[in-house]
Amino acid sequence: MTDYEMVIGLEVHCELSTASKIFCSCSTKFGGAPNTHVCEVCSGMPGTLPTLNKQVVEFAVKAGLALNCDITRKNKFDRKNYFYPDLPKAYQISQLYYPICRNGHVDIKTANGVKSIGIHEIHMEEDAGKLVHDPLSGKTMVDFNRCGVPLIEIVSEPDFRSADEVIAYLEKLRDTLQYLGVSDCKMQEGSMRADVNLSVRPRGQSEFGTRTEMKNIASLKAIARAIEYECERQIDVIEAGEKVVQETRRWDDEKEYTYAMRSKEDAQDYKYFPDPDLMPIEISEEYIETVRSQLPELADAKRRRYVEELGLPEYDADIITGSTTLVKVFETTCAICGAPKDASNWVMTDLLKLCNDNHITPEDMSFRFESLGEIIKMVNDGKINRKTGREVFAKVFTDNVDPAEYVEENGLAQVSDLSAIEPVIKEVLASNEKAVSEYLGGAEKNFQFLIGQSMRALRGKADPQAVREALQKLLDEMR
């Protein structure tokens, strides 16, 4: 049987995290009551004029620079005309002829090493509204809140050869845009959506096969499943002596198959033309350099610095840099306690365990991030012991208590004062005569037992090192 290879190109839409929409001052906030973030501009009233939100350009340039693109100095917006009930103007303002970024690339990690994925272009456009199907009344309603939310569409070259590469790329895009602060890339809220163009060809053939396009698949897992299914389907079609039809197909993640929605024959003619309401935008070299100088440290550079300069294990550095929230906690913690390795230990063990136990992701944590550094500092300064620190952190995590106040109010401070420790140890020695005399007779292992008894008598609040020293001293005096 012929050996086939899949070829994939992605069109990824990301909603930008600007406070207001691209052509009006309505809020972009997700989840408002239907039709409450709407005005005459974004609801497409006749006679209204769009005004470009400057920050959209800044965010698009930021994304372009981070994805190694050339920035187009002369930009224009175009109208993409089509009718659909979620698009009140009956056209979408987009960029066809002069997209803001071109010729970029992203390096991803694959099983066979690093691979560069080409980015054909990135353009700015506005999002459409949303149709809401009400199963009870059988009616369909329209919510215009999303109309005019700014998007960038990132179009890749057909450079992917496996589902794994696609997932690695999407994760890399998500990390990058989140680090830049230009998009939250939440697939579950639709702020990152991927269209997958896929074809197959006999391995070794240089021409591409005919492709299909699967739109708006809702999660990375679903994308991987859709790719495997569609690849098999196309191979079956070719093996049966038929031809793959260029069409848009919908992936049904529950039933796990794709079905045809729209073929090339009835593909829409969008009758693009330059938008006459918006002036062309000229981007100066100076502006580009200013934006470039403001780019934050991105995931790869951060990961390297954590390992090489802070001495974190690679595994820890990978996990922490995989989430901008973990980065924030980690860096805040380091700044306060000054001990990067301790900070990463606490994040990797206690913090991730607390997230797990409380069934939340790091993104949903709501405590004051400074608290963790304050706790570590108290532990490292000997004010509380590790075990107490862990208890205080659990309380901080769930109830956002102030660590120092909590320790004070609950009398959790560690006792390291000898005058407080010695009398208690003396009592322990008096009530464990047998263990003491065995120890004095050479049973070294009883020392650990006596430590345990002393710690318990001090209700776990004593500094273990101070207890050890005091016990040794008292025992030596008894020889």
Rounded CA-CA distance 329/431 in Å is 47
Tally of CB atoms within 10 A around 382: 14
Under rule CB under 6 A, residue 197 binds ligand ADP: yes
Return the residue of 94, 156, 234, 453 that touches ligand ADP, per CB under 6 A. 156
Q: Which stretch binds ligand ADP (CB under 6 A): 6-14, 253-261, 278-286, 312-320?
A: 6-14
Amino acid at 332: T
Min separation Cβ 42 and Zn ion, Å: 3
**Considering CB distances under 5 to 8 angstroms, the limit depending on partner class, which of ligand ADP, Zn ion, none binds residue 211?**
ligand ADP
- Could you tell me which residues are beta bridge partners of residue 123? 153
The answer to whether residues 248 and 230 touch, using CB atoms and an 8 Å cutoff, is: no
Q: Which stretch binds ligand ADP (CB under 6 A): 133-141, 192-200, 229-237, 286-294?
A: 192-200
DSSP-derived secondary structure for 45-61: -TT------HHHHHHHH
Under rule CB under 5 A, residue 149 binds Zn ion: no
Under rule CB under 5 A, residue 238 binds Zn ion: no
**Considering CB distances under 5 to 8 angstroms, the limit depending on partner class, which of ligand ADP, Zn ion, none binds residue 39?**
Zn ion
Rounded CA-CA distance 267/83 in Å is 13
Of the pair 188, 206, the CB lying nearest ligand ADP is at 206
**Considering CB distances under 5 to 8 angstroms, the limit depending on partner class, which of ligand ADP, Zn ion, none binds residue 42?**
Zn ion
List Cβ<8 Å contacts ≥24 apart for 84-88: 84/128, 85/131, 85/140, 85/142, 86/128, 86/129, 86/130, 86/131, 86/142, 86/144, 86/147, 87/44, 87/128, 87/129, 87/147, 88/43, 88/44, 88/129, 88/144, 88/147
Q: Which stretch binds ligand ADP (CB under 6 A): 95-103, 152-160, 316-324, 413-421?
A: 152-160
Taking the mean position of all CA atoms in its chain, how far away is CA 40?
34
Under rule CB under 6 A, residue 158 binds ligand ADP: yes
Both structure tokens of 464 = 């273990």
Return the residue of 157, 228, 300, 422 that touches ligand ADP, per CB under 6 A. 157
Using the structure block, give the residue that is written with the tokens 């769009």: 50
Return the residue of 12, 42, 69, 329 that touches Zn ion, per CB under 5 A. 42
Return the residue of 53, 92, 199, 416 that touches ligand ADP, per CB under 6 A. 199
Question: From residue 41 to residue 80, what is the string marking binding to ligand ADP with x (rule CB under 6 A)?
Answer: ----------------------------------------
Under rule CB under 6 A, residue 208 binds ligand ADP: yes
Rounded CA-CA distance 146/450 in Å is 68
Return the residue of 100, 155, 223, 312 that touches ligand ADP, per CB under 6 A. 155
Beta strand pairing call for 130-134 and 113-126: unpaired
Q: Which stretch binds ligand ADP (CB under 6 A): 7-15, 64-72, 348-356, 428-436?
A: 7-15
Min separation Cβ 95 and Zn ion, Å: 20
Of the pair 45, 141, the CB lying nearest Zn ion is at 45
**Considering CB distances under 5 to 8 angstroms, the limit depending on partner class, which of Zn ion, ligand ADP, none binds residue 322?**
none
410, 418, 402: which is closest to 463 by C-alpha? 418
Find the binding residues for ligand ADP in span 211-240 (CB under 6 A). Answer: 211
Under rule CB under 6 A, residue 198 binds ligand ADP: yes
Tally of CB atoms within 10 A around 248: 17
Q: Which stretch binds Zn ion (CB under 5 A): 22-30, 58-66, 123-131, 171-179?
A: 22-30
Using the structure block, give the residue that is written with the tokens 């939100």: 53
Return the residue of 5, 11, 58, 164 that touches ligand ADP, per CB under 6 A. 11
Under rule CB under 5 A, residue 39 binds Zn ion: yes
Q: Where are the beta strands (DSSP E) in 227-320?
A: 247-252, 257-263, 273-274, 281-282
Handedness of CA 358, 364, 366, 372 (dihedral sign): positive
Tally of CB atoms within 10 A around 282: 9
Under rule CB under 6 A, residue 7 binds ligand ADP: yes
**Considering CB distances under 5 to 8 angstroms, the limit depending on partner class, which of ligand ADP, Zn ion, none binds residue 464?**
none
Both structure tokens of 168 = 């690695």
> How deeply is 33 buried, as exposed, middle or buried, from its count of CB atoms within 10 A (0-12, 13-18, 19+)?
exposed
Under rule CB under 6 A, residue 92 binds ligand ADP: no
* Interface residue list for ligand ADP (CB under 6 A): 7-11, 155-158, 197-199, 208, 211
* Interface residue list for Zn ion (CB under 5 A): 24, 26, 39, 41-42
